[in-house]
């Protein structure tokens, strides 16, 4: 039973009967009763005082009395300053708990049951540097949103668009060509993506020196930046790449191969994957063709310098270059080609979601508007999953200056911190080494993932590794420990949990009722999280569930409870709590241990 719908029907019938209104159930505004008041659900009575011609308090009392007459599920009510608080009978919550406890996939809809196919892009790394902390948020957010959308029965296609071409890629290539002396990952002992990233930094150093040298000779900064020899060589390399020059292509393939090998290791550590990987080197030409077609249809126009643009000023945007004067493409060019190619390849896609940082908000407004003007009806179904940047206590990161937090180093550091904290507790001394290693990884990565995902994606966030692994705060390890604690209790119970039959005549402790009510909310939480593309909704719900379990366990005896019916009910209650914690954390891409 959906109690909100049921109560809305009851309340609309009551107010319509009492006050000669025609209020529809969907217009009834209900909210969960605040903890400081008695009740389960609250109705604001102010919308009905005009028709009732009474004070808010009297109006609430009238509605409450009418509901008691017609709805035996409501046992009592109280009115506080115009807020009508309704209390449901214990039997209702016990009945709902029975349904929840029997459904191992409670809240999760069957796979592909919605008939909706969604493509979700995330990661989108450049092949000129390794993944860093910003990429970590991108990957974790994209993967989690995909998993949460799957709980709603959607068919989700997870894709990665690798930025494997362009001027930034050529910067690493030019630097390696001039300064590399044949260095390879095998010779250096570096992961391939780290090695290529090293030369991206080397390019920036050499470029700044050349700019400074030219300025000392009398050039303006603007001219020096354009005329620096290493920049001119990089631009020449880009032209050679687009012309298919063999030597340039061989260098590009070799260095990209190094990077891909490095990415595979990082993705595996991070626990993310993709159903399909697109490469800009395969799609940018499609974008050029689209630009030429749009030019013939007068959607685009050629400027005096031979670049091609589109005027979006009437749409509240600016003029946008879609092809440079030398014929090379810009970011929007390949994004147009990629988008159209995807909808051709997957014609059943109902929605396309791009997981990209909020510094690209304007870019996606332009992209979607151009697609719309090109006649792509599905453009209105494109969505930019925008997220804020991640900063450290030390401040912002700059990859070209080598000040980024490397994703591999971050993950390794989190696992090492988990090892130190866990071993210091002395609780895992008897664990086999293999189990300990797996546990340290589960805790460390759980801490990293949860700390990032508990923050609303739209917000800029500060990542503090030490805070993320605290066992006593709103952290992944806190939730993981609650799950492990429940599993320990269930092991000590050492009896068949599935054969337990919950009595209909139990008198619920306050914390037992709160746990059932919170469990009842899980499907609604998943749905809200999916509709808002916000994993933080699930993350913070699971934290509240874990916290409530601890409160329950401190106040209610489980294994030492003498009343057999109460003891069995509580075993079933915590077993269901553990299952929802596990399913909720899985929807975030986070594992929970059986013991820790």
pLDDT at residue 503 greater than cutoff 60: yes
Q: How far is CA 263 from CA 24, 119, 228, 489, in A?
A: 54, 22, 32, 41
Record: fold of 408-586: Isoleucyl-tRNA Synthetase; Domain 1 (1.10.730)
pLDDT at 400: 44
DSSP letter string over 89-150? -HHHHHHHHHHHHH-TTTT-PPTT-S--EEEEE----BTTS--BHHHHHHHHHHHHHHHHHH
| Phi-psi domain of 118 (left: phi exceeds 0; alpha: psi -120 through 50; beta: other) | beta
36, with CB counted inside 10 A (0-12, 13-18, 19+), is: exposed
State percent of the chain over pLDDT 90.
87
The pLDDT tens digits for 338-367 are 999 999 999 999 999 999 999 999 999 999
CATH fold of 122-401: Rossmann fold (3.40.50)
Q: What is the pTM of this model?
A: 0.92
* Residue 401: pLDDT band with limits 50, 70, 90: very low
Q: What is the DSSP letter of 558?
A: S
Q: Which of 511, 432, 521, 443 is nearest to 483 (CA)?
A: 443
CATH fold label, 3-88: Gyrase A; domain 2 (3.30.1360)
Provide the mean pLDDT of the chain: 94
pLDDT, tens digit, for every residue of 248-258? 999 999 999 99
Residue 449 near residue 415, CB atoms below 8 Å: no
Please determine, for residue 395, whether its predicted confidence score (pLDDT) is greater than 80: no
Say how far apart CA 59 and CA 421 lie, in whole Å.
57
DSSP 392: B
Would you call 462 helix, strand, or coil by DSSP?
A: strand
* Average pLDDT of the residues in 492-501: 90
Whether pLDDT at 397 is above 80:
no
Work out the angle between the directed axes of helices 564-586 and 476-493 (0-180°, nearest 10): 140
Torsional sign, CA 211, 216, 217, 222: positive
Q: Tell me, what's the pLDDT at 1?
A: 62
CB 369 within 8 A of CB 315: yes
DSSP classification of residue 291: H
Residues of the chain with CATH 1.10.730.10: 408-586
pLDDT digits (tens, 9 = 90+) for 520-547: 999 999 999 999 999 999 999 999 999 9
| Distance from C-alpha of 90 to C-alpha of 73, rounded to nearest angstrom | 9
pLDDT for 152 beyond 50 = yes
Torsion angle, CA of 501/507/511/512, rounded to 10 degrees?
10
Q: Are 200 and 129 in contact (CB under 8 A)?
A: yes
360 DSSP assignment: G
**CA separation for the pair 51, 21 (Å, rounded):** 8
CATH 3.40.50.620 in the chain: give the residue spans. 122-401
Taking residues 363-377, what's their average pLDDT? 96
Question: Residues near 559 by Cβ (< 8 Å), separated by ≥ 6?
Answer: 489, 492, 493, 567
Q: Where does the pLDDT of residue 396 fall: very low under 50, low under 70, confident under 90, or very high at 90 and above? A: very low
CB contact at 8 A, 44 and 87: no
Look at strands 41-44 and 30-32 and give their pairing.
antiparallel
**Closest by Cα among 153, 81, 85, 152 to 113:** 153
Q: How far apart are CA 509 and CA 248, in angstroms?
A: 73
Asked if residue 145 has pLDDT above 50, the reply is yes
Pairing between strand 390-391 and 461-462? parallel
Whole-angstrom Cα distance, residue 368 to residue 374? 10
Cβ contact 355:386 at 8 Å: no
> What's the angle, vertex CA 116, arms to CA 334 and CA 138, rounded to 5?
50
Q: Which residues are CB-neighbours of 499 under 8 A, at least 6 positions away?
A: none
pLDDT digits (tens, 9 = 90+) for 261-281: 999 999 999 999 999 999 988
């Amino acid at each position: 039973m959906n109690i909100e719908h049921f109560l809305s029907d009851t309340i609309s019938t009551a107010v319509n009967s009492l006050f000669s209104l025609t209020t529809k159930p969907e217009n009834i505004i209900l909210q969960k009763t605040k903890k400081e008041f008695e009740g389960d659900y609250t109705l604001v009575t102010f919308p009905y005082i005009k028709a009732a011609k009474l004070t808010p308090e009297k109006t609430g009392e009238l509605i409450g009395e009418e509901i008691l007459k017609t709805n035996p599920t409501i046992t009592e009510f109280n009115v506080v300053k115009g807020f009508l608080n309704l209390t449901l009978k214990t039997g209702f919550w016990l009945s709902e708990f029975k349904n929840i406890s029997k459904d191992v996939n409670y809240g999760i809809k069957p796979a592909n049951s919605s008939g909706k196919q969604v493509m979700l892009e995330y990661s989108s790394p450049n092949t000129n540097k390794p993944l860093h902390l910003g990429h970590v948020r991108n990957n974790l957010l994209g993967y989690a949103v995909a998993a949460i959308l799957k709980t709603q029965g959607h068919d989700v296609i997870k894709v990665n668009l690798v930025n494997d071409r362009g001027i930034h890629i050529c910067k690493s290539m030019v630097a390696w060509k001039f300064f590399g002396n044949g260095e390879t990952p095998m010779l250096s002992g570096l992961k391939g993506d780290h090695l290529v990233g090293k030369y991206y930094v080397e390019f920036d150093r050499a470029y700044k020196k050349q700019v400074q040298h030219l300025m000392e000779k009398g050039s303006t900064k603007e001219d020096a930046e354009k005329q620096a020899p290493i920049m001119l060589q990089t631009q020449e390399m880009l032209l050679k790449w687009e012309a298919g020059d063999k030597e340039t292509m061989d260098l590009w393939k070799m260095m990209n191969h190094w990077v891909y090998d490095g990415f595979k290791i990082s993705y595996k550590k991070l626990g993310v994957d993709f159903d399909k990987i697109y490469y800009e080197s395969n799609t940018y030409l499609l974008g050029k063709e689209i630009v030429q077609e749009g030019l013939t249809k007068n959607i685009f126009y050629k400027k005096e310098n031979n670049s091609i643009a589109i005027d979006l000023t009437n749409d509240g945007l600016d003029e946008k270059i879609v092809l440079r004067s030398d014929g090379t493409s810009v970011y929007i060019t390949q994004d147009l080609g990629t988008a159209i190619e995807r909808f051709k390849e997957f014609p059943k896609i109902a929605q396309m979601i791009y997981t990209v940082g909020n510094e690209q908000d304007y870019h996606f407004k332009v992209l979607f508007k151009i697609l719309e003007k090109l006649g792509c009806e599905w453009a209105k179904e494109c969505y930019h999953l925008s997220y804020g940047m991640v900063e450290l206590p030390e401040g912002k990161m700059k990859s070209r200056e080598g000040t980024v937090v490397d994703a591999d180093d971050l993950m390794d550091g989190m696992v090492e911190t988990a090892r130190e904290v866990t071993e210091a507790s002395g609780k895992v001394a008897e664990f086999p080494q293999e189990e300990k290693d797996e546990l340290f990884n589960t805790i460390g990565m759980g801490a990293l993932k949860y700390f990032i995902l508990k923050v609303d994606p739209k917000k800029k966030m500060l990542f503090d590794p030490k805070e993320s692994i605290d066992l006593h705060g709103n952290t992944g390890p806190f939730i993981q420990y609650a799950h492990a604690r429940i599993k320990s209790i269930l092991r000590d119970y050492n009896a068949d949990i599935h054969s337990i039959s919950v009595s209909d005549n139990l008198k619920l402790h306050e914390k037992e009722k709160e746990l059932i009510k919170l469990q009842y909310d899980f499907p609604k939480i998943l749905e809200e999280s999916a509709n808002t593309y916000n994993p933080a909704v699930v993350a913070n719900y699971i934290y509240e569930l874990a916290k409530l379990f601890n409160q329950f366990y401190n106040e209610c005896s489980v294994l030492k409870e003498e009343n057999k019916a109460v003891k069995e009910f509580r075993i079933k209650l915590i077993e269901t709590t553990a299952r929802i914690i596990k399913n909720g954390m899985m929807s975030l891409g986070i594992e929970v241990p059986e013991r820790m």
